[in-house]
Every structure is written in C-alpha cells, then in structure tokens.
Amino acid sequence: HGPIALIEPSFPTIAIVPQDSVYEKTISNLEEIKARGGPIVAIATEGDERILKVADAAIFIPKTLEPILPVLTTIPLHLLAYHTAVARGCDVDKPRNLAKSVTVE
C-alpha cells in the first residue's frame, strides 16, 4: 500500500491525535507505523499519557470541545512548517513558485 511503503526511520510521521471520536483508530494506525520502524511526532491532547507510549515526541494542545480541535491542531503544524523552512534556508516570506501574492495596504 502506498503510504505504508513510504515509512522509513529517516522520515518522521507528523500525526494529529487529539482525543476525539477517531482517537482509537488513529492510535491503531500509529502502532502500525511504529511496528514498521517509523518515527512519530504527535500533536495530542494535554494529559494524554497513552500517546507517549506510541510517539517518539509529542506536542500537546489544551483539552477543548471537539469542534474547536482542528483550529488548535493547526497552530503547532504552522509553527513546525515555519521553523522547518527557516532551518532549511527557505525564504518564508517569498515562497518559490508562488504565482499570486497578497498586498496589504
């Protein structure tokens, strides 16, 4: 299967794992990744001790109502993308191949 074939020790999986209605299924998927030697960085709900047994690292978000979880999980994802780009020497203010730009007046 395509995504499973991409798992390797040098390429971490970034997983969004809040304690929501699909938590158990997500944990099961992460256990499969772990069994294949893939490192996992999880964005998880504060106080989730179980994720620490599956993931190699965790970024915690506060407990909140399920409809608000998508907003909270995007914040660490944006910060991770930003800091990764900066570490790689990318110009985060002028991404390559950007066809349009927004001008703020």
Nearest to 14 by CA among 25, 29, 2, 35: 29
Write the DSSP symbol of residue 37. T
Instruction: Examine the pLDDT at 16 and tell me if it is beyond 90.
Output: yes
Q: How much is the pLDDT for 102? A: 66
Instruction: Examine the pLDDT at 100 and tell me if it is beyond 80.
Output: no
Largest CA distance in the chain: 52
- For all residues of the chain together, what is the average pLDDT? 91
Question: For residue range 45-76, what is the model confidence (pLDDT) as tens digits?
Answer: 999 999 999 999 999 999 999 899 889 999 99
Instruction: Examine the pLDDT at 13 and tell me if it is beyond 90.
Output: yes
Domains and CATH numbers, the chain: 2-87 (3.40.50.10490)
Entry pTM: 0.80
Strand order in the sheet with 57-61: 13-17, 40-45, 57-61
Q: How many helices (H) and strands (E) does the chain have?
A: 4, 3
Better-scored residue on pLDDT, 1 or 37: 37
92 phi and psi angles, rounded to 5 deg: -70, -15
